[in-house]
Amino acid sequence: MSVSSIPRVARSSFGLLPDGTEVERVTLQAADGLEARIMTYGASLQALLVPDAAGRRDDIVLGHDKFAGYLARRQFFGATVGRYANRIAGARFTLDGADVQLAANNGPNALHGGLEGFDRHNWRIVAIDNGARPAVMLARTSPDGEEGYPGTLDVEVTWRLVGPMELLLDMSARTDRPTVVNLTNHSFFNLAGACSGRNILDHHLTVAADHFLAIDAGAIPLPQPPCAVAGTPFDFRAGVEIGARIRDDHPQLRVGRGYDHNFCLAPASGEPRFAARLTEPASGRVLELFTNQPGLQVYSGNFLDGSTAGKGGRLYRQSDAMCLEPHAWPDTPNRPDFPTARLTPGEVYRHTTLYRFTHAIHGAIETQSAVESPEGAGR
């Protein structure tokens, strides 16, 4: 497959909403072959083409080849999730003494923004950068009371290629009333390729976290402090094959049907820092994730059940992909002991995540030290 020798941007139609509104797709292509395709519906990462160690490009995120698949069933493939990613217990919380009732869409709880979260809206393109660091900026205004959340929220999401093999995601939000905000991207990664027919159990995962949050049957954090990962199947600090311990008889693996837990990263900061590394041995692809968020939801595709035909007509089944979702901790509005997700007028919510792709050759990763600040991030 030929690749342009210079970065470039292309804009095209990707489908129509039932009311006739056009859904667009913007393709960002780097000189070395990295290509990101951004869909306005859900401000979503619709495709991500990454070269392997031999230079062969594959799309490494699950989803659909045509827009109709995204519209037919809500599964968050590549989507921007908000206002509040993950879960809020009982679909309610108290803010400044006032009870806030949300839409319950996950049993009694609120999940990923409610019944019609940010992933179910067609965002508008407000800027395209066709320069050396190609980018697209999308925006939407979430009105006061949408899904029960207080305050009018103005949100911007920018996808940018900041290096030959680096994709930067910047999200910001402003409110006119005190509220809570927690955004993330919900891409499903399979570094062997979305159409490879292989699962992610042989991927190696590293997570820079000493603790994780234990959950109840509704995936709400238990009323206890974070659990130490040491001595458990949740210890990914030194890197381990995902499938090595996923079937261990551990109560948290049982309740989550695998990994579906928030890992507690270093406290939120202005600049992104190393959070996770995912390596696929056959292709040699390596994904390193840097973020300024305090948590990382690690989800091993436990509820993919073969009922969805995705890209290339492939049926998506359990453990066909891995989600690495940087965000605030779940149920934070009900947990004063957790890092806050509050946003007040005059403040700016900022989420920065960098996806860096490299190659592993005979177990060695061709990259700078993972603890170094990624070039271009946060600019």
Per-residue burial over 315-340, b = 16 or more CB atoms within 10 Å of its CB, e = otherwise: ebebbbbbbbbbbbbbbbbbbeebee
Residues shown for the chain: 379
Buried b (16+ CB within 10 A) or exposed e, 247-282: eeeeebbebbebbbbbbbbeebeeebbbbbbbbbee
Q: Tell me if 111 sits within 8 A of 85, measured CB to CB.
A: no
Evaluate whether 78 touches 61 at the Cβ level (below 8 Å): yes
CA distance 358 to 371: 15
CA atoms within 13 A on the CB side of 201: 13
13: exposed, middle or buried (Cβ count in 10 Å: 0-12, 13-18, 19+):
exposed
Q: Is 365 exposed, middle or buried (0-12, 13-18, 19+ CB in 10 A)?
A: middle
Active-site residue among 64, 112, 121, 186? 186
C-alpha torsion angle, residues 6, 24, 191, 353 (rounded to 10) = 80
Contact indicator for 81, 119 with CB cutoff of 8 Å = yes
E strand or H helix at 307: strand 305-309
Q: Active site residue: 204, 325, 327, 351, which one?
A: 325
Q: Check if 35 is active-site.
A: no
d(CA 209, CA 262): 10
**Quick one: tokens of 234?**
């949740």
Active site residue 325: yes
Identity of residue 267: P
Burial 21-49 (b: 16+ CB within 10 A, else e): eebbbbbbbbeebbbbbbbbbbbbbbbbb
DSSP 148-167: G--S-EEEEEEEEEEETTEE
Strand bridging mode 92-95 / 305-309:
unpaired
Positions annotated as catalytic residues are 186, 325
